[in-house]
Amino acid sequence: MNIEIIREHCIAKPDVTESFPFDDDTLVFKVNGKIFAMVNLNGGIQLNLKCDPELAIELREKYQAVQPGYHMNKRHWNTVNIDGSIPDKLILEWIDHSYELVNSKKGKRPAIAK
């Protein structure tokens, strides 16, 4: 997984904008003016995603690369270290989940790999 795959997946969604509102290293994706994903571009890729609180805990317990959201509400956000340990398909599903949560407030629950 690389930044271009993440970016293309995010901007392909309806009503998504991208910007650098905080600094030159943090790419932010918003839907209807609300953040659903942030990517750190400095060093290793880290992706902040909104997540159902119960699922957020499950993902942190299952995947070492998933941590409480860095500089975010730790109940609702996870930081995913893109290090190859999580299948790309799952990461894209988690992006979709975040987008749906922010856009509709009822996002569907994505799969957890067995």
How far, CA to CA in Å, does 1 sit from each of 11, 48, 99, 102, 112? 16, 15, 18, 23, 18
Please give the Cα distance from 51 to 100 (Å, whole number).
10
Give the pLDDT confidence score for residue 6 in this predicted structure: 96
Give the pLDDT confidence score for residue 101 in this predicted structure: 93
Residue 45 and residue 27 in contact, taking contact as beta carbons nearer than 8 Å = no
Q: The whole model's pTM is what?
A: 0.87
The pLDDT tens digits of the residues spanning 47-67 come to 999 999 999 999 999 999 999
How buried is 64 (Cβ within 10 angstroms: 0-12 exposed, 13-18 middle, 19+ buried)?
exposed
Give the pLDDT confidence score for residue 70 in this predicted structure: 74
> 64: closest CA among 82, 50, 49?
82
Give the pLDDT confidence score for residue 57 in this predicted structure: 92
Residue 77 and residue 50 in contact, taking contact as beta carbons nearer than 8 Å = yes
Please give the Cα distance from 42 to 109 (Å, whole number).
30
Tell me which residues of the chain have a pLDDT lower than 70.
73, 105-114
3-104 belongs to which CATH class? alpha beta
